[in-house]
A and B are shown apart, each in its own frame.
Chain A
C-alpha cells in the first residue's frame, strides 16, 4: 500500500458511518458520470424545443429553432467524451467503436448515439441549411465558398420545388427525431433504472423522470442562449417568442416536478427495506444537493417565479430578468438532479446499513477541472457552429426561413 493511498483511504474511512462492505469505500461512477446525463439531457431537451416549431407549428418560437438545433449538435458532440474519459484508458476507447458488443446494454449507447447524430441531427440541420449553404457557396470568399460547397454536397438546386422538398424532409426527420430524442435520453435513464440491485436507481419511472428533466434543462439552456446571443448581437429580443418558450418551460417544469413527487410518494408508500437508509442518506448526505439545490432552488423557486410571471403581467425588462434567473436556477437544479441520482446511488452501502462519502478530485482525468472543461467545450463548439452556420443569415441579409 502506498502512503498516498493509505492517506486517501484513511480520510474516506473516517467519513463512513455504519456498516459498509469492504469494496464499497471507493465511489466508481464519479463526477464525469454526472456530467454525462446532464449533457445528453440538454441535447434531447433542445431538440424537443426545436421540434415544436416544425411538427406542432408553434410559430412564435421560430427564432429559437436553428439555435436549438445547433445547441443540440454542440452538446451531442461532447456527450460521449465524459464516458470515454471515465474508462480510465481514453486512448484505447476507439477499440469500443471497432468492436461493438451487441449484447451489452451499455454499448447500446453507441448505436443510439450514432443514430441520433447522423440520421436525426445532422440530416435535419443539413436540410434546414441547404439553401443557405448553396447561396453562401456562391457569395463567400475563397476558401469558405468551397467549404460551403462541400458542406452542401455540391447541390445547387434552390428552386422553389427543391426548397419545398427540404421543408418536407425537415418535418419528416423531426417526426422521427422526437421518439429518437426520447430514446436517447430515455436510454440514459434506463441504464440507471435497470440496476436491480440499487434501490435508489431501480425504478421504471427513472427513464421518464430523466426525459422530462431533460426537456426542462434543454428548453432552459436554449432560452438562456437566445437571450445572451441576441443581446450580444445588439438585436431586440423577440418577447413573444421568449414568453412562449418560458410557458413551455413552465409546463415542462410542472410535469417534471409532478413525476418526481410521484416517484417520491411511490417509494415512501412502497417502503421497501431500503427506505430507512435512503431516508437517512437524503436527510444527511444529500440534504444540500437534493433538498436545497434540486428541490428548493432548482425546482420550486423557478416554478414559483414562472407562475408569478404568468399571473402578473410584468413589464418586459422585469420579465426578461425573471426568465433569465429562473433558467439559470433550473440549470443548477437539473445538474443537482444528475448528481443526486449518480452519486446518491453510490453513497449508501448495499447492506443498507451504512453511508459513505464521495471525495471529488480536482485534477486528473475524472476531476473537477476536467468536468468544467467538458461543460465549457459545448459552448466553444457552439460558437464555431454559429460562425459557420449563423441561424440569422450572413451580412445582415434577412433570415431565409
Chain B
C-alpha cells in the first residue's frame, strides 16, 4: 500500500482528493440537500405549478364583469366583438373587480388602438374586417363612429373589397381586372351584412370559365382554348388561379 502511494505522483494525489471531495459534495447535495420535489421525473414539477398558482392574478375573465356591467356585457355578446374578452381592450382588471372604486381599468379611446387588429394584413383570414388606417376616415378616433362594444358597420359596405381586400388587390393586378366579382360569384346582398350566415357562391364547374374562354364562345378579345381537350378533366382553377390567372408563354 505504502509503495503504491509513493509511486503515484504527489500532485495527482492532491487533485484526486480535491475532485473526490468535489464529487462527494455533489453526491451529498443530490442525495440529501436537494428537496424531493426537484427530483421529480415529470415534465412539470408539482411545486412549480403551485408556485405559479400562488403568483398574483391579474386577469379576471369576462364572466365576472357581467355582474356590474351587464349592459356592456350583453351588448358585446350580441355583436361582432362577441369573441373578444373585455380585458383584451381594457387590460388586466382583477384589481378593479375587487376594488372597483379605487382602480378603474383604462379604456383604449385612442385611434391607434383598434388598427392593431383591423389593419389590412394579407395573413388575416378571409372576410376579416380590415381597413387601411391611413385612408379610413382619418384623424378621428374610431369610437366616434363605431361603438367598441357593438361595432356594427354603419352602412353595409358596397364593395366586396371591404372584407376581401386581399383578393380584390390580387385581382386588380391581373388579367381579370375587368371582371366583377359577381361574374363568377353568385352573391346574395345579405352576404355583405351577415357574411357568415349568408354565403356567397363559388364556381364549381369549368363551364363558367369556358363561357368566355372556349374557342366557340364568341366573346371577343379573350384568349381561347379548346375546353374539351385543354386541361383534361381538371377544373380550370387547379392550374390557373382564378383571381390571378397566369400563363407561361414560352
Contact = CB atoms under 8 A, between A and B. Distances in A.
B108 interface: yes
Contact of A153 (B14, B29, B106): B14
A2 B91 contact: yes
A361 B113 CA distance: 23
Tell me if B's interface is mostly helix, strand, loop or mixed: helix
Nearest to B14: A153
Nearest to B89: A1
Interface string A95-135: 10011000000000000000000000001001100100000
Interface in B1-27: 9-11, 14-15, 17-18
Contacts of B34: 98-99
Interface in A1-19: 1-3, 6, 9-10, 13, 19
Interface footprint category on B:
20 to 34
A371 to B, nearest CB: 29
Contacts of B17: 153
A354 to B, nearest CB: 8
A169 B11 contact: yes
Interface stretch (B63-71, B115-123, B198-206): B115-123
A127 B10 CA distance: 12
Contact of B15 (A3, A153, A157): A153
Contact of A3 (B11, B30, B108, B119): B108
B38 A155 contact: no
Interface of B: 9-11, 14-15, 17-18, 29-30, 34, 38-39, 88-89, 91, 106, 108, 112-113, 115-116, 119, 121-123
B85 to A, nearest CB: 11
A269 to B, nearest CB: 25
Contacts of A169: 11
B10 A157 contact: yes
A127 B15 CA distance: 10
Nearest to B88: A1
Contacts of B15: 123, 126, 153
B123 A19 contact: yes
Contacts of A155: 10-11, 14
Contact of B112 (A10, A19, A95, A127): A10
Contacts of B89: 1
B123 A99 contact: no
Contacts, number: 53
A6 B112 contact: yes
Nearest to A20: B123
Contacts of A165: 9, 11
Interface in A151-194: 153-155, 157, 162, 165-166, 169
B11 A10 contact: no
Given A13-B121, A98-B34, A157-B11, 5 more contacts: A1-B88, A99-B39, A153-B17, A155-B11, A157-B10
Contacts of A1: 88-89, 91, 116
Contacts of A9: 116
Contacts of B119: 13
A142 interface: no
B40 to A, nearest CB: 9
Contact of A95 (B14, B38, B106): B38
Top 8 closest pairs, chain A to chain B, by CB: A153-B14, A165-B9, A157-B10, A98-B34, A19-B123, A99-B38, A98-B38, A6-B116
B20 to A, nearest CB: 12
8 contacts: A3-B106, A6-B116, A9-B116, A13-B121, A22-B123, A98-B34, A127-B11, A162-B11
